[in-house]
A and B are shown apart, each in its own frame.
Chain A
Amino acid sequence: MDFEDTPEEAAFRAEARAWIDANAPKHLEAELKRAGFASSGIDSEDPMEASKAWQKKKAEAGWACLHWPKEYGGAARTPIERVIWGQEEGVYGSLSSPFIIGHGMCGPTVMDWASEDHKRRLLPPLASGEEIWCQLFSEPAGGSDLAGLRTSAVKADDGSGDWIINGQKIWTSGAQHSQWGLLITRTNPDAPKHKGLTMFFLSMSTPGVEVRPIKQANGQSGFNEVYFTDVRIPDDQRLGAVGQGWEVSLTTLMNERLSIGSGMSTGFPELFEFCLSAEIDGQPAVDDASVRSRLAQFAVKQSGLKYTGMRAITALSKGQTPGPENSIGKLVAGATMQELAMFALDIQGQSGAIQDESSPMNARFQQVLLRSPATRIEGGSDEILRNIIGERVLGLPGDIRVDKDVAFRDIPTSGRK
């Protein structure tokens, strides 16, 4: 039991550190460091351009998408080396946020299911950040119940083999910045819901695709509605067989779990720092007994997540595949950061309601308060994650289902009972 690098790991770390030291956009360091939450913190230049520039530089030197094969823009490194890179990249890692969905989910799906030609065309610019991807999965009628989606793909009747797409996606993060999308559709409404799905990829500039930003509860616009009106795409943009879309989507969803090791933070270090400086009745907040007790509760969650991540990395380095037990990361982090934000505001007293430049730590806790509800929903809600732990980890029986072996068109939906 140790936290030491092997000699190879140490060599890799040194190499990564030296390269980062020589090449990172140091002029942005201060801004990145004092960034609040849910924003890059960069005001001095266009944040997207800054992200793309850093990604391109990494790609050119062989530090992008480290674990991908070289011919697809990666560097054929081990999963552990990827983790080490993340540790060394530190604050600059947050520049990668526009690429998370593409690198973490869309890329691996393309890698597993696309033709060789397509992989060579699509993956290198995805790795280098020149092209951004979005995930067109959720719909008004299919979020947690993804297989309830209704966007249809129908073979064109002109014999071209093309598909005609009609319908609507929603909550699509980054669609407004994306060149490509990974799109799941229904090709057979007469089959049971999981059997009638087919996956495609498409250019977001295909005629008939319309992106409309949605204003989020916190005022930002990270996600969008995407409308498809008679959008025509060739059959060779299909991933997997017709009707195999559910299986293909599982590749995407399983890959979410592989992005472990980064160990989601609960925001405890910032809260602790705040409690050292904030005052209650003229005394440091951290001296207050009730504050200490709450802090300790948050501390052990933060630490528990950190070392759970390290155990997962250990398993990974022994060649084991991350399983459903990794669902606990976001489940714990999401709920904890929300409670933690409420607690930080409580310490601020009535001024906690104010969100401006006078708010402690660049209004970080106000931002967390307003953004954290989404963390508990996106990428699998708390309830879905508890179902996964209950069913896949503990082996409890699934829900009794009323929608399983019925033709999709016969399943009751909201507004159609």
Chain B
Amino acid sequence: MNLDFSDDQKQLQDQIRRFLSEKCTPAVVRSGLEGGEPFSRELYRGLGEMGVLGVAIPEAYGGVGLSHLELCLAAEELGRALAPVPVASSIYLAAEFLLQAGTEAQKAAWLPKLASGESVGTFAFVEGQGRMTADKVAAAVRDGRLSGAKSPVADGDIADLAIVAARSGAGRGEQAVSLFIVELNGPGVTRETLASIDPTRGQARLAFDGAPAERLGGEGEGWAIASQVMDRAAILMAFEQVGGADRALEMARDYALDRMAFGRQIGSFQAIKHMLADMYVSATLARSNCYYGAWALASGSSELPVAAATARVSATQAFQHCAKNNIQVHGGMGFTWAFDCHLFYRRSNALALALGSLSTWEDLLITRLQGANTQAA
């Protein structure tokens, strides 16, 4: 038994960490916050050149051809660094959709561009408030033309292509939904940038009016494919969340060692010490659940749906917990614009909703445990 990454994988992680600490400076992270671009194209291209974006994409499609384990560690580093780049949308989702369901031609057309960072992809799924269900899909494709609106779409303001979930064909319920590739720079697409709680990652509303749409995967299979791909993405995003949680914990620890009040380091007050210990506990449990997810992802285990929901619920909580208490430990300083605490707080809460809210994933986890239980019985 070996529930750990290999030395080679850890070395790669180190390289990515060094790259990000050099290139993903606070000024780069804060650009969107200060009214500039929420997205650093330079950083993104750099990640492409380094092979981070394509690490799990086969060489035949311009990738590096390593495994999802390497991608997990890359995700952790991106989370730590709060990197303002659309890796989740473009790689965990768009590229993964193509890999799982694309035809040879679709893969050849898009994967090399996604792997190099030349193009950005995203997943256009949600339509408005509340939990997303198949019945809420109103966007529809007729004769290869998409009409309707998707909102919010992460990185929809900068993406070049979207995988869109839309109604088509005669199926009902989940079987009514299919997936389509839509070029966002083409005709029939309007975008509107949305203000969000985390301006270091863009959000947009996409309106489609007869936009050319090419089906991805079988007719009526959209919901099933999306749920599979979202499970895979959930594990990767959980690694981002754990990376963020760890960094928030470190910041809080460092501040608790530095800051003096009442003649002592505040880290010597048990109220603070125990708060930090609890942050460590939730970050550790989440990390262990993520390793389980990484194993399931890389081995193609039938436990993947359970592992994904487990990692996702655990990591969401850990990041939220560490980020909010990081502000608390920093006292008044934590509530300033200048300190980075609020960036982690914003990101933790934005990631908690991306791919579906915590309660959605809690529900999924129990559904899947029930399924596993019936199978075992």
Q: Chain A contacts of B284 at CB under 8 A?
A: 304, 308, 325, 328
Q: How many Å lie between the Cα of A317 and that of B309 in the bound state?
A: 29
- Minimum CB–CB distance from B292 to chain A (whole Å) comes to 5
What 0/1 readout, one digit per residue, does chain B (1-33) give for beta carbons within 8 Å of chain A?
111111000000000000000000000000000
Interface with B: A33-41, A119-127, A175-183, A384-392, which one?
A384-392
Interface residues of B in 336-363 (CB under 8 A from A): 359, 361-363
Q: Chain A contacts of B5 at CB under 8 A?
A: 1
Q: How many Å lie between the Cα of A81 and that of B240 in the bound state?
A: 35
Interface residues of B in 263-289 (CB under 8 A from A): 264-265, 267-268, 270, 272-274, 276-278, 280-281, 284-286, 288-289
Of B257, B286, B288, the contact of A396 (CB 8 Å cutoff): B257
**Interface: B129 (CB within 8 A):** no
**Contact: A311 with B288, CB < 8 Å?**
yes
**Interface: B314 (CB within 8 A):** yes
**Contact: A390 with B276, CB < 8 Å?**
yes
- Minimum CB–CB distance from A312 to chain B (whole Å) comes to 9
Q: How many Å lie between the Cα of A4 and that of B69 in the bound state?
A: 17
Q: Chain B contacts of A397 at CB under 8 A?
A: 257, 264-265, 267-268
- Tell me what chain B mostly uses at the interface: helix, strand, loop, or mixed: helix
Of B268, B281, B361, the contact of A400 (CB 8 Å cutoff): B268
**Interface: B320 (CB within 8 A):** no
**Contact: A2 with B288, CB < 8 Å?**
no
**Contact: B277 with A389, CB < 8 Å?**
yes
Q: Chain B contacts of A332 at CB under 8 A?
A: 281, 285
Q: Chain B contacts of A386 at CB under 8 A?
A: 270, 273-274, 277-278
**Interface: A383 (CB within 8 A):** yes
Q: Chain B contacts of A393 at CB under 8 A?
A: 277, 280
Known: A296-B363, A387-B270. A307 touches B257 (CB 8 A): no
**Interface: A282 (CB within 8 A):** no
Q: Chain B contacts of A296 at CB under 8 A?
A: 309, 313, 361-363, 365-366
- Minimum CB–CB distance from A410 to chain B (whole Å) comes to 24
Q: How many Å lie between the Cα of A315 and that of B310 in the bound state?
A: 23
**Interface: A53 (CB within 8 A):** no
Q: How many Å lie between the Cα of A395 and that of B256 in the bound state?
A: 10
- Minimum CB–CB distance from B238 to chain A (whole Å) comes to 11
**Contact: B4 with A314, CB < 8 Å?**
yes
Of A1, A301, A325, the contact of B291 (CB 8 Å cutoff): A1
**Interface: B370 (CB within 8 A):** yes
Known: A1-B295, A289-B363, A313-B1. A389 touches B281 (CB 8 A): yes
Q: Chain B contacts of A308 at CB under 8 A?
A: 284-285, 288
| CB-based nearest B residue for A83 | B1
- Minimum CB–CB distance from B374 to chain A (whole Å) comes to 9
**Interface: A292 (CB within 8 A):** yes
**Contact: B310 with A395, CB < 8 Å?**
no
**Interface: A221 (CB within 8 A):** no
Q: Chain A contacts of B298 at CB under 8 A?
A: 1
Q: Chain B contacts of A1 at CB under 8 A?
A: 2-6, 69, 291, 294-295, 298-299
Interface residues of A in 360-417 (CB under 8 A from B): 383, 385-387, 389-391, 393-400
**Contact: A2 with B2, CB < 8 Å?**
yes
Q: How many Å lie between the Cα of A301 and that of B365 in the bound state?
A: 13
**Interface: B302 (CB within 8 A):** no
Of B267, B268, B278, B366, the contact of A286 (CB 8 Å cutoff): B366
**Contact: A396 with B253, CB < 8 Å?**
yes
Q: Chain B contacts of A400 at CB under 8 A?
A: 264, 268
**Interface: B60 (CB within 8 A):** no
Q: How many Å lie between the Cα of A306 and that of B289 in the bound state?
A: 9
**Contact: B1 with A307, CB < 8 Å?**
no
Q: How many Å lie between the Cα of A314 and that of B310 in the bound state?
A: 21
**Interface: A165 (CB within 8 A):** no
Q: How many Å lie between the Cα of A3 and that of B359 in the bound state?
A: 30
Q: How many Å lie between the Cα of A3 and that of B273 in the bound state?
A: 35
- Minimum CB–CB distance from B54 to chain A (whole Å) comes to 21
Known: A1-B3, A387-B270, A390-B277. A304 touches B314 (CB 8 A): yes
| CB-based nearest B residue for A268 | B369
**How many of chain A's residues have a CB under 8 angstroms from any CB in B?**
50
**Interface: B373 (CB within 8 A):** yes
Interface residues of B in 158-211 (CB under 8 A from A): none
Q: How many Å lie between the Cα of A314 and that of B292 in the bound state?
A: 13
Q: Chain B contacts of A395 at CB under 8 A?
A: 253, 257
**Contact: A300 with B1, CB < 8 Å?**
no
**Contact: B4 with A311, CB < 8 Å?**
yes
| CB-based nearest A residue for B69 | A1
Q: Chain B contacts of A4 at CB under 8 A?
A: 1
Q: How many Å lie between the Cα of A224 and that of B216 in the bound state?
A: 70
**Contact: B253 with A394, CB < 8 Å?**
yes
**Interface: A78 (CB within 8 A):** no
What 0/1 readout, one digit per residue, does chain B (137-176) give for beta carbons within 8 Å of chain A?
0000000000000000000000000000000000000000
Known: A386-B278, A398-B268, A400-B268. A301 touches B3 (CB 8 A): no
**Interface: A341 (CB within 8 A):** no
| CB-based nearest B residue for A275 | B366
Interface residues of A in 271-314 (CB under 8 A from B): 272, 276, 286, 289, 292-293, 295-297, 299-301, 303-308, 310-311, 313-314
- Minimum CB–CB distance from B218 to chain A (whole Å) comes to 31
Q: How many Å lie between the Cα of A313 and that of B365 in the bound state?
A: 26
**Interface: A339 (CB within 8 A):** no
Q: How many Å lie between the Cα of A304 and that of B287 in the bound state?
A: 8
Q: Chain B contacts of A299 at CB under 8 A?
A: 310, 313, 365-366, 369
Q: Chain A contacts of B359 at CB under 8 A?
A: 293
Known: A310-B3, A311-B4, A394-B276. A304 touches B291 (CB 8 A): no
| CB-based nearest B residue for A332 | B281
- Minimum CB–CB distance from A78 to chain B (whole Å) comes to 13
Q: Chain B contacts of A5 at CB under 8 A?
A: 1
- Minimum CB–CB distance from A153 to chain B (whole Å) comes to 34
**Interface: A199 (CB within 8 A):** no
Q: Chain B contacts of A95 at CB under 8 A?
A: none
Q: Using a CB–CB distance below 8 Å, which chain B residues touch chain A?
A: 1-6, 69, 253, 256-257, 264-265, 267-268, 270, 272-274, 276-278, 280-281, 284-286, 288-289, 291-292, 294-295, 298-299, 309-310, 313-314, 317, 359, 361-363, 365-366, 369-370, 373
Known: A272-B369, A304-B288. 15 other contacts (CB 8 A): A3-B3, A289-B363, A299-B310, A303-B292, A304-B314, A305-B285, A307-B288, A310-B3, A317-B1, A317-B2, A332-B281, A383-B270, A387-B270, A396-B253, A397-B265
The 9 A-B residue pairs with the shortest CB-CB distance in the complex, in nearest-first order = A304-B285, A296-B362, A307-B288, A390-B273, A386-B277, A396-B267, A389-B277, A300-B314, A308-B288
Offer 23 A-B interface pairs, CB within 8 angstroms, sorted by A: A1-B295, A3-B1, A276-B373, A286-B366, A296-B309, A296-B365, A296-B366, A299-B366, A304-B284, A304-B285, A304-B286, A308-B285, A308-B288, A314-B3, A328-B280, A332-B281, A386-B270, A387-B277, A390-B267, A394-B253, A394-B280, A397-B268, A399-B270
